[in-house]
Structure 1
Amino acid sequence: MTQVDRTFLVKVRQAGLWEIPAGRLAQTHASSDAVRRAGLHLIDGHSKLDQLVREDAQILGVELPNEATPEQQGWVKQLDEAQGDEFDRLFANLLRASHGKIFATIGEVRAATQNDLIRRHARQANQTVLDHMEVLEDTGLVDPKTFQEVEAAVAPK
């Protein structure tokens, strides 16, 4: 098990710790059925990933955090303070940017890991993140700048 494998498990756990609350906020703050549907996908997908990551971490002896990063907590606060159309746009773009960035990381982890549990987890995370990106894009609210931001973040340095 490598440091990249450990970091991957931590990042998956932290993603769920902010995206599940974000998905719940979509149920009460969104004005669009498409955004509420995206929120349900986040709740469902990250609940399953969270259970898997906690099981894998226990087997592999990896300590996981119990709260999102300060930046992620800030995103949840921003979402909580928004309503209606403003919430919908913020939700779609924050979450699409986040998923776009981690999508590239998952591919790198999957390609490089020699650990069967990490490989399985990366496969499941890849499927979940792809589903979330598609449902967020289906809202019709993702700004082209979001795609440019992700491209800049994942471009080779």
Structure 2
Amino acid sequence: MHRFARNGLAVGSLALALPLLAACADKPAPTVSVPVAPPALAASDATFVQTAAQGSMTEIQAGQLAQTKAKSPKVKAFATQMVTDHTANFDQLKQVVANKGVTLPTDVSDQQKTALTQLQGETGRAFDKDYVADMVAGHEAMLEAFQSEAQTGADADLKKYASDTIPAIQQHLAEAKKLQGPPMGTHYGHHHHAK
């Protein structure tokens, strides 16, 4: 009997507890502030973010290849600068878009991937020539995108980021062109004139 009485007490206690839980459930839930979702970026700004991110990723990956495969010490030094500068630039872009509801691309474009694959298969002077040519073309494209964003972008933070980055892109482009040397036509013209 004593055992049943203990079970009965337990059931009775549970029965008393249920109305208390129900009473608690009737109370209004505490107000929780839900963060407001960030406004979506304009299509042009979102495209710029993708272009800037993939551009930096390409420069980093190509630079890492050149650090080991380039024949010229000057090209290797330039490649090291590209890896350092574009890693910092990519990190800065991450911070700028952190609260803007945009997802950064995780890989380069198909066209950039093709160029990187070609570089992987090259060595010596051929590698140096094509790497530098890629750096000139890549920085020219990035400069155009950054100038466009700085002038016509809708997002103030991205416009400032683009404007602040333009001088570094211009410097990289100038250095790449210096490594590339004068165009063949210009070189030929000077040579012909010397005759």
Q: Would you call these one fold, judging by a TM-score over 0.5?
A: yes
- Residue type of the alignment partner of 2:166: N
- AA of the residue aligned to 1:17: M
Question: Is structure 2 residue 64 aligned with structure 1 residue 24?
Answer: yes
Per the alignment, do residues 30 and 76 of structure 1 end up closer, same or farther by CA in structure 2, a change over 3 Å counting?
same
Corresponding residue to 1:108 among 134, 141, 148:
148
Identify the residue that residue 77 of structure 1 maps to in structure 2: 117
In structure 1, the gaps of 5 or more residues are: 146-157
- In the alignment, the residues of structure 2 paired with residue 5 and residue 43 of structure 1 have an alpha-carbon distance, to the nearest angstrom, of 25
Aligned residue type for 2:77 = R
Matched, 1:47 2:87: yes
3-state SS of paired residue (2:99): helix
Q: Secondary structure of the equivalent of 1:31?
A: coil
Query: What is the identity, as a one-letter code, of the residue corresponding to 1:59?
Result: N
Q: Is the 8 A contact 1:79 1:90 kept in 2?
A: yes
Matches within 5 A, 1:77-156: 77-141=117-181, 143=183
TM-score by length of 2: 0.69
Which of 1 and 2 has greater Rg? 2
Number of equivalenced pairs: 145
Contact 2:62 2:116 in 1 (8 A): yes
CA gap of 1:142–1:43, structure 2 versus 1, over 3 A, is: farther
Show the counterpart of 1:149. none
Give unpaired runs (5+ residues) of structure 2: 1-40, 186-195
| Shift of residue 125, structure 1, vs aligned partner | 2.8
RMSD: 1.8
Decide whether the 8 Å contact of 1:30 with 1:87 is kept in 2. yes
Counterpart check, 1:63 vs 2:113 = no
Deviation at 1:20, TM superposition (A): 0.4
Shift of 1:84: 1.0
Structure 1 runs of 4+ off > 6 angstroms? none
* Contact 2:45/2:154, CA 8 A, preserved across alignment: no
Is 1:8 equivalent to 2:48 in the alignment? yes
Q: Which residue in the other structure is 1:152 paired with?
A: none
Q: TM-score, normalised by structure 1?
A: 0.84
Structure 1 residues 34 and 142, CA gap change in structure 2 (3 angstroms): farther
User: CA contact under 8 A between 2:51 and 2:145: conserved in structure 1?
Assistant: no
Greater RCO between the two (CA within 8 Å, min separation 6)? 1
The aligned amino acid for 1:6 is A
Residue 60 of structure 1 aligns to a residue whose secondary structure is: coil
Distance 1:125 1:144, change over 3 A: farther
